[in-house]
Amino acid sequence: MVYLDSEQLKALKRRVRAERVSVAELIWRSVSQSLQGPVETPAPTSEVYARLVCGDSSGQADIADEHDLRLASALPREHLR
């Protein structure tokens, strides 16, 4: 038995209608895909690191003071992309 909240159920029903498959089929596909293993994420590019270190050209004067905080908060977000 699988329990879904109302938003998940609405989204599932939309997808079922769009793909013209049964709820069971869509859930089966999702589980099969999930069990294939973790999705490989590409390594961040040098541009990503430059943006993390240098900022977004916002003109902020205190960018060096906040460098460590910005880097620490941004790295996990970039890694998850």
39-43: which pairs have CB atoms within 8 A and are 24 or more residues apart?
41/79, 41/80, 41/81
CA distance 26 to 31: 9
Report the pLDDT value the prediction gives residue 71, as an integer from 0 to 100: 72
30 and 51 assigned to the same domain: no
Count of structural domains, the chain: 2
Enter the tokens of residue 69: 């905080």
Report the pLDDT value the prediction gives residue 60, as an integer from 0 to 100: 59
Would 40 be classed as within a structural domain? no
Please give the helix or strand (H or E) that residue 41 lies within, else none.
none
DSSP secondary structure code for residue 10 in this structure: H
* Statement: residue 19 has pLDDT above 80: yes
Report the pLDDT value the prediction gives residue 80, as an integer from 0 to 100: 54
Would 1 be classed as within a structural domain? no
Please give the helix or strand (H or E) that residue 30 lies within, else none.
helix 23-35
31 and 56 assigned to the same domain: no
51 and 29 assigned to the same domain: no
CA distance 50 to 73: 15
